[in-house]
Amino acid sequence: MAEKWLVGVDLGGTTVKMAFLTTDGDIVHKWEIDTDLSNKGENIVKHIAQSLEDTLRRLGESKDRLLAIGIGAPGPVHKETGMLYETVNLGWKNYPLKERLEQETALPVAVDNDANIAALGEMWKGAGNGARDLICVTLGTGVGGGVIANGQIVHGVNGAGGEIGHMTMIPKGGAPCNCGKTGCLETIASATGIVRIAKEKLSRWNKPTLLRSETVTAKAVFDAAKANDELALEVVDEATFYLGLALANAANVSNPEKIVIGGGVSKAGDILVERVNAYFRRFAFPRVAEGATMVLATLGNDAGVIGGAWLAKTSFCV
Ligand SMILES: [Zn+2]
């Protein structure tokens, strides 16, 4: 009999990443479709189910090859019912994602938050390298957080556990955040936050800087910092200071073995990790700092689908 596959799905605001994986977490086939945001996202689940069928047909496989689906969605999730409380990106509110996707696919479905499944992916096949206590931050347009304690995601009572991106770093006069607060880590250490800080500093800057001659992006800031641009170094210092501080405070709660930094901004590489790590070590409780290793995520865009497969496997197959 042919080996069975797990389905990992990473549902985002612009694309849905999908993959078939072996029960050992190796990707057999991966693809993506656009997220259909029309009519408050009512077609999203149908499209995912349809795309699964189409892809199976293209591969010449039948549906009984599939064991279960694990899906990550951008918002807090009720763990038992697989209901999504709210996703601003997709237009859903109290949306029964597990139930709907099970109806459309006739497969068992497990649901979690997108940052959480990325953390599970890194734990299983990536930078976590088997560690069972880890903290994962994803630095993209926003700042996602996933905290794993003893191999389990910390969900909390409302599904909002591990939201490191919304730790308040600037208690007074901080920039507004998408969550409704001000001064969140996300307003500083996300790609958007880094650009905002750079533009603010640039408007008051009288000295030469590489950043004046090009469109300011997070990548441009890090590239300029690598070339020793004074303004860019200030921006990087501010972002990494607050990220190191937030991670130190988060780590003091769960005493992780690994702290994994992923997302588009993490492509900056060593310059980012070295600086965040230095601040982390300054602010963490010494024994917490001693126990933790800070590393870059290794799975890139595959973290979500791999974590989804882990979720499906541990929910239905073990
Ligand atoms: Zn926030």
My answer on whether 17 and 85 are in the same domain is yes
CA of 164 to the centre of ligand 1 (A): 9
Q: Are both 164 and 24 inside the same structural domain?
A: no
- Neighbour tally for 7: CB within 10 Å: 24
Going from the Cα of 307 to the center of ligand 1, the distance in angstroms, rounded, reads 24
Cα(29) to ligand 1 centroid in Å equals: 36
Does any domain span residue 165? Answer: yes
The percentage of residues in the chain with a pLDDT greater than 70, rounded to a whole number, is 99
Residue 136 CA to residue 156 CA, distance in Å, equals 16
Kindly report, residue by residue over 234-280, the tens digit of the pLDDT: 999 999 999 999 999 999 999 999 999 999 999 999 999 999 999 99
In a domain, 215, yes or no: yes
Q: Ligand 1 centre and the CA of 172: distance in Å? A: 14
Domain count, the chain: 2
Ligand 1 centroid to 148 CA: how many Å?
21
Task: Say if residue 150's pLDDT is above 90.
Answer: yes
Asked if 124 and 151 count as a contact pair (C-beta separation under 8 A), the reply is: no
Which two structure tokens, joined as six digits, stand for 168?
């308040």
46 and 136 share a domain?
Answer: no
Question: Are 104 and 162 in a shared domain?
Answer: no
Do both 54 and 78 map to the same domain? Answer: yes
Whether residues 160 and 207 fall in one domain: yes
Do residues 162 and 275 share a domain?
yes
Give me the chain's average pLDDT, please.
95
Instruction: Calculate ∠ Cα 308-313-314, nearest 5°.
Output: 100
- Is residue 257, in this structure, part of any structural domain at all? yes
Taking residues 52-64, report their average pLDDT.
96
Query: Tell me, what's the pLDDT at 178?
Result: 87
Would residue 95 count as lying in a domain?
A: yes
CB 112 within 8 A of CB 100: no
pLDDT of residue 132: 94
Chain mean position to CA 21: 20
Instruction: Measure 184 CA to ligand 1 centroid, in angstroms.
Output: 5
Please tell me whether residues 115 and 243 are part of one structural domain: no
Residue 135's nearest CA partner among 301, 249, 250 is 250
Q: Are residues 34 and 94 in the same domain?
A: yes
Ligand 1 centroid from CA 171, angstroms: 12
What was the pLDDT predicted at 257? 98
- The order of strands in the sheet holding 27-34 is 27-34, 15-21, 5-11, 66-73, 109-113
Cα 173 to Cα 191: distance, rounded to the nearest angstrom:
20
Position of tokens 């921006």?
235
Q: Is the model's pLDDT at 129 over the cut of 90?
A: no
- Scored b (16 or more CB within 10 A) or e, 283-292 reads bbeeebbeeb
**Is residue 125 domain-resident?**
no
Mean pLDDT, rounded, for 285-302: 97
Higher per-residue confidence, 112 vs 159: 112
Ligand 1 midpoint to CA 178 (Å)? 6
Confidence bin at 1 (pLDDT 50/70/90)? low
Within-domain flag for 236:
yes
pLDDT value, residue 88: 75
Q: Which residues surround ligand 1, an ion (CB under 5 A)?
A: 166, 177, 179, 181, 184
Distance 294 CA to ligand 1 centre (A): 24
Ligand 1 centroid from CA 228, angstroms: 31
Q: What is the pTM of this model?
A: 0.92
- In the prediction, which pLDDT does 100 show? 97
Q: Once rounded to an integer, what is the mean pLDDT over residues 120-147?
A: 94
Domain that holds residue 201: 130-298
Answer yes or no: is 186 within a domain: yes
Closest CA to 30 of 266, 267, 301: 301
| 257 CA to centre of ligand 1 in angstroms | 26
Write the DSSP symbol of residue 174.
P
User: From the CA of 21, how far away is ligand 1's center (Å)?
Assistant: 34
Is the Cα torsion angle 130, 132, 135, 137 positive or negative in sign? positive
Over residues 68-87, mean pLDDT: 92
CATH number at residue 214: 3.30.420.40
In this predicted model, what pLDDT tens digit does every residue of 192-219 receive, in sequence order? 999 999 999 999 999 999 998 778 999 9
- The arrangement of strands across the sheet holding 92-95 comes to 77-78, 83-87, 92-95
What is the distance in A from the centroid of ligand 1 to the CA of 189? 12
Sheet of strand 152-153, all strands in order from the earlier edge strand to the far edge:
152-153, 143-149, 134-139, 258-262, 293-296
C-alpha dihedral sign at 89, 92, 93, 98: negative
Average pLDDT over residues 168-179: 95
104 and 116, same domain (yes or no): yes
Whether pLDDT at 318 is above 80: no
User: Which burial class, exposed, middle or buried, applies to 149 when counting CB atoms under 10 A from its CB (0-12, 13-18, 19+)?
Assistant: middle
Q: How high is the pLDDT of residue 64?
A: 94
Does residue 204 share a domain with residue 145? Answer: yes
- CA-to-CA separations, 98 to 46, 68, 71, 105, 302, in angstroms, rounded: 13, 12, 9, 11, 22
Q: Are residues 150 and 276 in the same domain?
A: yes
